[in-house]
Amino acid sequence: MDRNELVNELARRRGFLWPAFELYGGAAGFYDYGPLGAPLKRRIEDIWRQYFVIAEGFAEIEAPTIGVEGIFQASGHLSGFSDPLTGCKECKEVYRADHLIKHIIEVPDALTNEEIYRCMQENEITCPECGGELSSVYEFNLMFKTMIGPGNKMTGYMRPETAQGMFINFPRLLRYFRGALPFAAVQIGKSYRNEISPRQGVIRLREFTQAEAEIFIDPRDKTHPRFDEVKDIRMKFYSQEAQEKGEEEEMSFGEAVERGVVAHQTLAYYVARTYQYLLAVGIDPQKLRFRQHKSDEMAHYAADCWDAEVLLDRLGWIELVGVADRTDYDLKAHTTVSKVNLSVFVNYGQPVKRKKTVVKPDFKALGPMFKSKAKAVGEALRALAPEQLTGEMIQVNVDGETIDIDRSLVSFESVEEEVRGEEVVPHVIEPSFGIDRILYSILDHSYYEDEIDGEKRAVLRFKPQVAPIEVAVLPLMDRSELVGPAKKILEELRSRGMRTDYDTSGSIGRRYRRNDEIGTPYEVTIDYETIEEGTVTIRDRDSMSQVRIARWQVVDKLQALLNGDLLFQDAGDPVRSAKSD
RNA sequence: GCGCCGAUAGUGUAGCGGUUAUCACUAGGCGUUGCCAACGCCUAAACUCGGGUUCGAAUCCCGAUCGGCGCACCA
């Protein structure tokens, strides 16, 4: 069994990840998070909140997971997310129908499925593999479609990403942040994509969890005020250039921006925060790299994009996070479809005085002359640049009609106005995290085996901050004189908010193993010395060593250990291993 | 979606037309002054689903579902 199998098997057996709907035969691309998986996921999300909500002052929102049609027209998911397919009736091979007529039609995207099919028939296109006849064109859309309300009045779609919920709330968010850039909204939640063939467990799901931030910035200034905090962090950059050489390049973030490896400070800053976050939840830095999108895989509107990728057993390099500068693409797209202006008025530091020529059409004369067109003529005149206003006759274009106007009907005035700022469509920096993939990667990177007395030991070396069980309370034996004090300690730990487990079954060694396997960092063992001398032992998962401490200190010391404020070897008196007796 | 392969207790497996469906681990109970998957006794637990062939199917055939691999897909 390779590590991938071992991890999956452990995850299933111990209650991290279960294939969904098993009772009814299951469905590919759906997973349940079990009693250990759900808290692990929750803790991964909570640390994300710590980094991308609390530390940055961003606003977390929660939008519906179903969206109306307009959203996805604007986002491009309805057209771009759906592929016209056709299949060979002979060999059953399936093709992208639009690709088959690419050499005939410039923009096959613009055609309906029927038109594509007709085009295929007219040009006698057959199966490229076997020359067989091709079926009619059918749509495969990765969007889950549903109905809103009774009848077919309104079509809804399950969102394929959480991002749109932030974009379409832009006006409200702008107001919430008192009209000033930069600001950001985030969302952690489920997204849905009806994948053609989901595989590889939790890596490609039909229902999955994303954590996304949309950071709205002033496009004219992409520096970041806190860049100094990250500029000395060193990391492996797998830039476009590095990819050509096939070798990652280690450098500091400061250097990366100076050399133009990363487009600008703000993007680099969030790549750095992403890097710190991934390490904090337990991704192995040796199996982590940031890869820049090549120009052909980057969305046409994106200015720069970096993916956090991890190395997983069997699966290779897998994308966990994308951090992109999406420029003003999304806001402009929503403006086009919704007709709502999504810009910000940005004040200049100093108001700028500007000379301006104001055109004043003489409406008293224009009115009788052009009747109902007068207003439009006036607007056209006002819109002209000063240099177009010389000469005896002025030409304007109204509804395709060229109209000559005598200069005397227009007066000019040169005014000096104070310009306090301008309308700007913000650019968007988008870090987008796949939580399920991060969770799986943590399992893979935390898993290790060692051999104790010829016996294999499987351990998940979780960081205490993500461990679903933080402390196991274990009476040495299931006897009432030990169980009583043990339950007392359990209660104290719980009232301190710790995630605990209590176990009396089988031998103590078996219980230690069980907890190693689910990544519990510490175990408290209650023995006869607890009763006689008022002490307990704490066992450290990774070293398997134990210290003995006073009973009354157990809660505080465990808290300190879990917080990383206390080193295990300093926690108490070392216990000689039973083996060496 | 296509092709190839597979599916038996919680996990890993044996079975190859007639068995009370094999074994190990795991899990639960009892005992154990006992500390790194100890030991003894006891217990629970499975043929993915639906059709067909047959006197009789876990076993043979067909289909579905799920999983693995390859192709396609992965804004």
* Rounded CA separation A261/A257 (Å): 6
Tell me if A316 is assigned to some domain.
Answer: yes
Q: At A544, phi and psi to the nearest 5?
A: 60, 15
Nearest to A33 by CA among A162, A158, A190: A190
- Looking at the structure, do residues A219 and A366 belong to the same domain, yes or no? no
pLDDT more than 70, % of chain A: 87
- Helix pair A37-49, A435-446: axis angle to 10 deg: 110
CATH number at residue A127: 3.30.40.230
- Looking at the structure, do residues A235 and A277 belong to the same domain, yes or no? yes
Q: A158 falls in which pLDDT band (50, 70, 90)?
A: very high
Q: Quick one: which residue's CA is nearest to B74's C1'?
A: A195
For A32-128, where are the alpha helices, taking DSSP H only?
37-49, 69-75, 77-80, 97-100, 113-122
Please, what's the b/e burial string for A342-359 (b: 16 or more CB within 10 A of its CB; e: otherwise)?
bbbebeeeeeeeeeeeeb
* Rounded CA separation A182/A171 (Å): 14
pLDDT higher at A113 or A275: A275
- Looking at the structure, do residues A249 and A125 belong to the same domain, yes or no? no
Per-residue pLDDT of A560-570, as tens digits, reads 999 999 999 99
Tell me if A314 is assigned to some domain.
Answer: yes
Residue type, A445: H
Q: At A12, phi and psi to the nearest 5?
A: -75, -45
In this prediction, residue A111 carries a pLDDT of 66
Tell me if A462 is assigned to some domain.
Answer: no
In this prediction, residue A581 carries a pLDDT of 37
- Looking at the structure, do residues A294 and A215 belong to the same domain, yes or no? yes
Tell me if A442 is assigned to some domain.
Answer: no
Tell me if A412 is assigned to some domain.
Answer: yes
- Looking at the structure, do residues A324 and A384 belong to the same domain, yes or no? no
Q: Which one of A141, A163, A189 terminates a domain?
A: A141
The answer to whether the beta carbons of residues A68 and A154 sit under 8 Å apart is yes
Residues 6+ apart with CB under 8 A from A522: A464, A470, A471, A472, A538, A539, A540, A541, A558, A561, A562
Can you give the distance from the CA of residue A214 to the C1' of nucleotide B66 in angstroms?
A: 38
- Looking at the structure, do residues A210 and A305 belong to the same domain, yes or no? yes
- Looking at the structure, do residues A197 and A62 belong to the same domain, yes or no? yes
Q: A59 falls in which pLDDT band (50, 70, 90)?
A: very high
Per-residue pLDDT of A502-530, as tens digits, reads 999 888 999 999 999 999 999 999 999 99
Q: Evaluate if the CB of A128 falls below 7 Å from strand B.
A: no
Tell me if A448 is assigned to some domain.
Answer: no
Lowest-confidence pick of A44-58, A128-142, A462-476, A493-507: A128-142
The answer to whether the beta carbons of residues A292 and A238 sit under 8 Å apart is yes
Per-residue pLDDT of A161-219, as tens digits, reads 999 999 999 999 999 999 999 999 999 999 999 887 888 888 999 999 999 999 999 99
Nearest nucleic acid nucleotide to A29, CA to C1' distance: B66
Nearest to A446 by CA among A466, A431, A430: A466
In this prediction, residue A119 carries a pLDDT of 79
**Domain limits for position A129:** 83-141
- Looking at the structure, do residues A253 and A120 belong to the same domain, yes or no? no
**Residue A76 zone, left/alpha/beta (φ > 0; ψ -120 to 50; rest):** left
- Looking at the structure, do residues A323 and A377 belong to the same domain, yes or no? no
CATH number at residue A196: 3.30.930.10
Q: Which one of A96, A114, A141 terminates a domain?
A: A141
- Looking at the structure, do residues A153 and A131 belong to the same domain, yes or no? no
Residue type, A58: F
Number of domains in chain A: 4
Q: Which residues pair with A538 in a beta bridge?
A: A524, A547
Can you give the distance from the CA of residue A430 to the C1' of nucleotide B41 in angstroms?
A: 63
- Looking at the structure, do residues A197 and A317 belong to the same domain, yes or no? yes
Tell me if A170 is assigned to some domain.
Answer: yes
* Rounded CA separation A325/A267 (Å): 7
Can you give the distance from the CA of residue A35 to the C1' of nucleotide B67 in angstroms?
A: 23
CATH number at residue A380: 3.30.720
pLDDT of A279 strictly over 80:
yes
- Nucleic chain B contacts, protein chain A, residues 249-308, CB cut-off 7 A: 299
Burial of A544 (0-12, 13-18, 19+ CB in 10 A): middle
* Rounded CA separation A139/A97 (Å): 10
The answer to whether the beta carbons of residues A286 and A247 sit under 8 Å apart is no
In this prediction, residue A24 carries a pLDDT of 86
Q: Evaluate if the CB of A204 falls below 7 Å from strand B.
A: yes
* Rounded CA separation A490/A526 (Å): 11
CATH number at residue A528: 3.40.50.800
Per-residue pLDDT of A329-348, as tens digits, reads 999 999 999 999 999 988 88
Tell me if A37 is assigned to some domain.
Answer: yes
- Looking at the structure, do residues A179 and A302 belong to the same domain, yes or no? yes
Per-residue pLDDT of A467-512, as tens digits, reads 999 999 999 988 888 999 999 999 999 999 999 999 998 889 999 9
Can you give the distance from the CA of residue A31 to the C1' of nucleotide B47 in angstroms?
A: 25
* Rounded CA separation A138/A84 (Å): 6
